[in-house]
Chain A
Amino acid sequence: MARWPHLSCTAFPSIDLATCCLLMTDPQPRIERADTPDGPSAALLGRWGAAELGTRSQWLALSRQLADQPSGPGLGWDLRDIAWLDHVGAQLLWNHWGRAWPARLQLHDAQRDMLERVAQFSTEEPPRDTWTLSQQVDRLGVLVLHALDHGRQMTEMLGQLVLDIGRLLRNPRRGPWRDVSGHLYRMGATALPITALVGFLIGVVLAYLMSLQLRQFGAETFIVNILGISLVRELGPMLGAILVAGRSGSAITAQIGVMRVTEELDAMRVLGIPHGFRLVMPRVLALAIAMPLIALWTTLAALGGGMLAADIAMGISPAYFVQALPAAVSPSNLWMAMLKSVVFGAGIALIGCHWGLRVKPNTQSLGEGTTASVVTAITMVIVVDALFAIGFKNMGIR
């Protein structure tokens, strides 16, 4: 510790117990101006502690008083009657004094120890980063490299997945089937209620909106064609995939991300258990299996909703609806929807795993990873859907 600077420190009278108790019940930190033979002096009273300084009313009163006592050579400071001084209070004083010892200062040894510690450890503010063009260019470069890194990692993961599936096919008995079945239940079965509800409501909304338009042309019966094609081919799989991307994509990222935070991922590697085979592949398989089923289920719920609304709004009976549907929608639409859903499912799981494995061991990164995972997954669903729509434009629509 640095040696004490030379100070005029007078001996202080001992404070008896009664004064102690009096001072303890005197929380408001304040300054009283007094005139001493040496000149004006500011006497500090009350509790100068973090809690008191953190109370807004006390702080406002005190900061006004402090402003009235500018630090200068003419003013002495007397800390001897202060009821309590902690490091925060000492820091406040030290900064108020302009980080220098005042010319006249009266205080106890303990207070001086504290102020010395504050003086010794008060450092100049580290310089802030300034904006320079080269830094911005650097940043752009880092972004580009980052994007390339993502691409590389995704490709690696896809390749690893193919290898892992090959390994599974060679020796199916030793596959992580328990994991797959667990994920099937969690990502598939438990998603059924919410997808049914959303699908049903969308079906109702669509049917009502269409009925208004179709009635103008007297083409009510075409509701079956419109609902059939749009729901089976597009909306059912899309709705299901978007819901699952929000539900399970985020869950996958959070799960794997927390495993990173708690070093479980490292533990797996040390035990010789590959991430790809035990973490990525089961999730991808489970979602690739569950997603078409969820899409089918959502489509059925939406058709149910549409059927109900068509009956109520236009008097088209469910019997007619069911009878007309096969003629309106060729089976190839369904097959295309199923194929699309498999791609959606595998993609959502892969993206979830990708972001999960990239999480760094802190909460911020976990949050960012989960957000990015959901956003990427939903974007992927829409992009893939568009690709399918273009690629199969001649299929199933007469």
Chain B
Amino acid sequence: MTAVATGHPAPLHPAIPSEPAAPAVVEISGLSTVFGKGDQAFTVHQNLDLTVRRGEILSLVGGSGTGKTVLLRHILGLTQPTAGSVTVLGEPAARLTGKGAASRVGMLFQQGALFSAFNVLDNIAFALREQGTLPSRVVCDAAMVKLQMVGLKPEHASRMPADLSGGMVKRVALARALVMDPPLLLLDEPTAGLDPNSSDDFCDLLRELHASLGLTVVMVTHDLDTIFALSTRVAVLAERRVIVSGTPQEVVRFDHPFIQHFFLGERGQRAMAPVPADASGDKDR
């Protein structure tokens, strides 16, 4: 990537998501996941294909138990699919969790997963400090910058995770995920458990970071407001595969009971209302 590419005179929804030129960051093909053995076995994914291109904000949507979080864990290389391949940044996902993983992918866990024995600053600086090269002053400063980029104040740096509110935990977790500026960011329910205000703030923050860092984002969410506010593309998981993926507008028009129920219920209507028809996609497909 050149300086120009890092650079991001980007609009709020930068790259046109479905533009074929953008290279694939995540490629999932023929993926199957089976849990349990024998009689107890149940299939979560079957022959699932999904590609995430650079600069996209992809929302993974699906009912409970459709394996959204499992899919994220496959992408992270934390779990291995029963069959199929997951390629992240041109390499098999299984190799992702090795040395330098923090510079390739960032993950925001649903509960934050902050290290409860470290204070906020040490949580953020952990991956950077573990490399053992940079002077501690630079590491501290870099962590402080990330801390403030996610909207926290310097005086929060010395707090312990147990003393943080839910929204702050998410922010610290996001700062920790971003400390090495990874090109790919995975979010598991980023706004779950936040009040509407914090949730909106968090969306704004993600949008800003996406624009300024040129991130590719994959998120699992149930929050319709977040989906419409942020995502450039929505992939719907049902029937053990991705039944449709496209801009929110395209997905809403797809005829499937889950989508009808999920998007076109009362809550969906309310969330969609403020979104103009062409807000998140301007290309005919």
Same assembly: yes
Contact residue among A23, A54, A81, A362 (Cβ-Cβ distance under 8 Å from B100):
A54
Could you tell me if B5 and A20 are in contact, using CB atoms closer than 8 angstroms? Answer: yes
Closest to B5 in A: A20
Could you tell me if B1 and A83 are in contact, using CB atoms closer than 8 angstroms? Answer: yes
Contact residue among A95, A117, A123, A362 (Cβ-Cβ distance under 8 Å from B160):
A362
Closest to A56 in B: B133
Q: Which residues of the partner chain A approach B132 to less than 8 Å between Cβ atoms?
A: 54, 56
Could you tell me if A50 and B181 are in contact, using CB atoms closer than 8 angstroms? Answer: yes
CB distance from A227 to the nearest CB of B (A): 48
> For the complex, is A181 an interface residue (Cβ under 8 Å from B)?
no
Could you tell me if B1 and A51 are in contact, using CB atoms closer than 8 angstroms? Answer: no
Closest to A113 in B: B212
Q: Which residues of the partner chain A approach B70 to less than 8 Å between Cβ atoms?
A: none
0/1 interface trace, chain A 118-148, chain B, CB 8 Å (1 if under): 1011110110000000000000000000000
| A36-87, CB < 8 A from B | 49-51, 53-56, 59, 79-87
Contact residue among A51, A59, A120 (Cβ-Cβ distance under 8 Å from B103):
A51
| A207-236, CB < 8 A from B | none
Comparing B75-83, B137-145, B197-205, B253-261, the segment that makes contact with chain A is B137-145
Could you tell me if B145 and A91 are in contact, using CB atoms closer than 8 angstroms? Answer: yes
A19 CA to B212 CA, complexed, in Å: 23
A20 CA to B5 CA, complexed, in Å: 9
A76 CA to B162 CA, complexed, in Å: 47
Q: Which residues of the partner chain A approach B181 to less than 8 Å between Cβ atoms?
A: 49-50, 86-88
Could you tell me if B7 and A109 are in contact, using CB atoms closer than 8 angstroms? Answer: yes
A20 CA to B133 CA, complexed, in Å: 28
Q: How many residues on chain A are close to B (CB under 8 Å)?
A: 49
Could you tell me if B145 and A84 are in contact, using CB atoms closer than 8 angstroms? Answer: no
Q: Which residues of the partner chain B approach A197 to less than 8 Å between Cβ atoms?
A: none
Could you tell me if A118 and B145 are in contact, using CB atoms closer than 8 angstroms? Answer: yes
A50 CA to B146 CA, complexed, in Å: 13
Interface of chain A, helix or strand or loop or mixed?
A: helix
> For the complex, is B115 an interface residue (Cβ under 8 Å from A)?
yes
A108 CA to B135 CA, complexed, in Å: 27
Contact residue among B142, B147, B162 (Cβ-Cβ distance under 8 Å from A88):
B142
Contact residue among B128, B133, B141, B157 (Cβ-Cβ distance under 8 Å from A95):
B141
A364 and B116 in contact, given A50-B180, A111-B6 (Cβ under 8 angstroms): yes
For the complex of A and B, the 10 pairs showing the least CB-CB separation, nearest first, are A110-B7, A54-B131, A362-B116, A51-B103, A86-B181, A364-B117, A50-B180, A59-B133, A121-B148, A121-B145
Can you name 10 A-B pairs with beta carbons within 8 Å? Answer: A53-B133, A54-B134, A59-B134, A79-B3, A95-B141, A108-B4, A110-B6, A121-B145, A121-B149, A360-B162
Interface set of B (CB-CB < 8 Å, partner A)? 1-9, 100, 102-104, 115-117, 128, 131-135, 137-138, 140-142, 144-149, 154, 157-158, 160-162, 179-181, 212
Task: Give me 20 other A-B pairs in contact (C-beta within 8 A), A117-B145, A360-B162 excluded.
Answer: A20-B1, A20-B5, A50-B103, A50-B179, A53-B131, A56-B133, A85-B3, A86-B180, A91-B142, A92-B138, A109-B9, A110-B9, A113-B212, A118-B141, A120-B148, A121-B144, A122-B145, A126-B157, A126-B158, A363-B115
